[in-house]
Chain A
Amino acid sequence: MAAISNETRQRTGKTSVLARREAIEMYICLAPWLIGVVVFTLGPMLASVVLSFMDWKLLKPPVWVGLDNFVSIFTSDPLFTKALVNTAYYTGFSVPLQLITAFLVAMLLNTRVRGLAIYRTIFYIPSVFSGVAVAIMWIWILHPNAGLLNQGLGILGIQGPNWLGNPQWAMPAMIIMSLWGGIGSPMVILLAGLQGVPQHLYEAAEVDGANGWHKLRHITLPMMSPVIFFSLVVGIVGSFQVFGASYILTGGGPNYATYTMVLKIYQNGFTQFRMGYATAQAWILFLILVTFTYLQFRLSRRWVYYETETVGKR
């Protein structure tokens, strides 16, 4: 049909008018989005590339400083390294913890239990709460004397630490909070993935005498690997951009223990008015994330199993 239609179009020339009109209509429909991307995303991004080579105190015109901002970041700003290490620490613990917990919860919710929708909603609710409200609630949960967490630990005979006041415990506290609010979204995605694993694979494995662990190891995990991979990439990108938790929970403290990259960029840019310097750091963060994501994609070939690819190879 398509071949006939193209032929007719070429012969008569009439349909090409139609095609042109369709194309125009398509561009009109796309225009708001395209304009939005150019004006609000691409434009500022390109402008920020230029700004990263400038000294701009916001209130005075920007001055070209070449690579000075980047040199300063790596040679005379110990807080940059501190923020980077803190962010990596947060990501290194919060993402795997969130993924594992979300996976376990998704597995639980993938069983035929009564009131499944209610449980699913309960687990998902924390992720729709306002981050600010959640952080304030956690300030009280983590209170060293009156907080729920330390009260609970007290019942077990454990003296809980000053979670947010002690530099050693502030970051673990932030990770615990992220776990509570951060499992909802990956849980829903993983649950959808679990429900898409063909039942006949499990039935065949059972016939072959596979137990629960075997089924998890050899069917569920390989079949779920693309979904896990997606959640991992999104999780790492998101957690590298953590801001609200450290801004509200601790202000980056105590003693910079929870000082993260985006909080530093915000403070440098919007409270210290070193816009060029902040922009340079934002680009470094972007490059780190791009590199990380690229590496993940490279490594994914070793562990992510795409059923369609295998079928294609056959």
Chain B
Amino acid sequence: MQTEIGGEDHELYMKEVYPKFTEKTGFEVEVEVVPWGDDLITKLQTMGAAGTLADVATDISPWSRTFVDAGMCLDVTEALKTYNFPYEDLKAGSPIQEAYTVDGKVYGMNLEVACVACIIVPELFKKAGLPEPTKDWTIQDLKELAKKLTIREGDKVVQWGVGTDPGSGWYREAFLETADAPLVKPDNITPQANHPDAVALMQMYQDMRFKDNTMPTSADRQLLQGAGDSWMTGVYEGKVAVHFGCCGAQRNLDKFGKVEYKFAHLPKFKRGGSALAGTGYFVYSQTKYPTEATQLMFHLCSPETQKIDAEVLGWWPSLKSVRESFFAGVKANPGNYDTMNDIILNARLAPSSLVAGKALELQQIDAQRMSQVWEEGKPVQEVLDQIQKEFEAAIARKS
């Protein structure tokens, strides 16, 4: 049997996972690692179309619907009854499994989840004489907090109040949705770039960047890069006090961190909840070994694998029981993990998961046009209206 896994880092823990499957079942598994990013989606879809996809392949929640629509995924609803998989535990852990379920049928399983996290450096709050954000803080508080936490030496900023990347792509999408600015219309299908809440939020960030100078530009953020693969370096070098970003950043914080960090509760939003995405697996509909491949998929998302994944890579398990035991057992500061657990439990499925098959094109439009907001300082309303027009044109083309 063959399996396709996305991202080189996943190969690390797979070394432990596959031998266990072979030991249990006697089936040998050939693993092909595909780099993360656009290439992964392209490769999966191309191989799906060509009939050469691996028996079990990576399933990313925003793309799951597209794969299902294309007939690439095997329906495993019935198989769930046969295998001893803690499905209810998975559903209780977060809403992520909705992404792999179409019309009540299950087409894939989730392994790990990602959502927006707020990471703070308590020491910098202490130095500024400010209390850490509590459960009831709001996004408006952030602007003022950023001013108080930004430190300048002449014209040069030596410590940024807030560092985030609301620029484009998953971050912008997740961030907008998290912060009450819906990116899809109430039909949960039509994208909506220029919702008044989105305009207001982007305007606030644009002001923080250009007027207040409390949030780094992309060029400034580049200088904060260094260790690891994330612009979180600014946080772990103590140059950024508050950061909004992907919760997975904690693995780099743990790996390279030079300062103590802490997860804070997200600001209080009207609708509440972070936008959530995740990675899992699906069984290729044209597999020659449907039973064995299904067994492998369950194994790759099992409590045992999720635990190894969390321990080796630091990703957040989607199974509630695994996450809770992992939080309790691994870290000395469980409060951190309680906060994240709370955020994951209250998260909502990221809208790209709902706008099946259009996500990447829309993200490309978004990435190109948003530079006008972040680099040129153009009026947010104007740019978002333009993006909306292009979104609609793209969707009309698709349909």
Taking Cβ atoms with an 8 Å cutoff, the residues of A that contact B are 58-60, 76, 143-146, 162, 165-167, 251-256, 259, 267, 270-274
Contact = CB atoms under 8 A, between A and B. Distances in A.
A58 B49 contact: yes
A254 B368 contact: yes
Interface residues of B, number: 30
B371 A255 contact: yes
Given A143-B223, A165-B371, A251-B367, A59 B49 contact: yes
Contacts of B66: 59
A59 B72 contact: yes
Q: Which 5 pairs show the lowest CB-CB distances between chains A and B?
A: A254-B371, A59-B70, A165-B375, A272-B361, A58-B49
B89 to A, nearest CB: 33
B42 A252 contact: no
A274 B219 CA distance: 33
B188 interface: no
B134 interface: no
A245 to B, nearest CB: 17
Contacts of A60: 70
Contacts of A273: 45
19 contacts: A58-B45, A58-B46, A60-B70, A143-B222, A144-B219, A145-B220, A145-B223, A165-B219, A165-B371, A166-B376, A167-B375, A253-B368, A254-B372, A255-B371, A256-B368, A271-B38, A271-B364, A272-B360, A273-B45
A267 B364 CA distance: 9
Interface string B21-48: 0000000000000000010011001101
Given A271-B42, A273-B45, A253 B371 contact: yes
A270 B375 contact: no
B336 interface: no
B369 interface: yes
Contact of A165 (B38, B49, B69, B218): B218
A146 B70 CA distance: 47
Nearest to A166: B375
B224 to A, nearest CB: 11
Interface in B186-224: 217-220, 222-223
B375 A254 contact: yes
Interface string B335-377: 0000000000000000000000000110010011101100110
A144 B221 CA distance: 12
B219 A167 contact: no
In this complex, the member of B41, B71, B361 whose beta carbon has the largest number of chain A beta carbons within 10 angstroms is B361
Interface of B: 38, 41-42, 45-46, 48-49, 66, 69-72, 217-220, 222-223, 360-361, 364, 367-369, 371-372, 375-376, 393, 397
A259 B369 CA distance: 12
A146 B371 contact: no
A223 to B, nearest CB: 47
Nearest to A164: B219
Given A143-B222, A271-B38, A272-B361, A253 B367 contact: yes
Contacts of A259: 368
A252 B368 contact: yes
Contacts of A165: 217-219, 371, 375
- Of A58, A145, A273, most buried by chain B (CB within 10 Å of CB) is A273
A8 B142 CA distance: 98
B71 to A, nearest CB: 8
Contacts of B72: 59
Nearest to A61: B49
A272 B360 CA distance: 7
Nearest to A139: B222
B97 to A, nearest CB: 23
Contacts of B48: 59
Nearest to A251: B367
Contact of B219 (A143, A270, A271, A272): A143
B376 A271 contact: no
A253 B371 CA distance: 8
Contacts of A270: 38, 42, 46
B223 A167 contact: no
Nearest to B396: A76
Given A145-B219, A145-B220, A165-B218, A271 B371 contact: no
A167 B49 contact: no
Contacts of A145: 219-220, 223
Contacts of B69: 59
B45 A59 contact: yes
A271 B223 contact: no
A59 B45 CA distance: 7
Contacts of A146: 223
A254 B167 CA distance: 12
Residue with the greatest number of chain A CB neighbours at <10 A, chosen from B41, B46, B223, B376:
B376
Contacts of A255: 368-369, 371-372, 376
Contacts of B360: 271-272
Nearest to A268: B361
A271 B363 CA distance: 11
A79 B251 CA distance: 39
A59 B38 CA distance: 16
Contacts of B49: 58-59
Contacts of B45: 58-59, 273
Nearest to B369: A255
A167 B367 contact: no
B47 to A, nearest CB: 11
Nearest to A76: B393
Given A254-B368, A259-B368, A271-B38, A162 B70 contact: no
Given A59-B49, A166-B375, A255-B372, 6 more contacts: A59-B48, A165-B218, A167-B376, A253-B371, A254-B371, A270-B42
- Kindly name the residue among A165, A251, A267 whose own CB sees the greatest number of chain B CB atoms within 10 A: A165
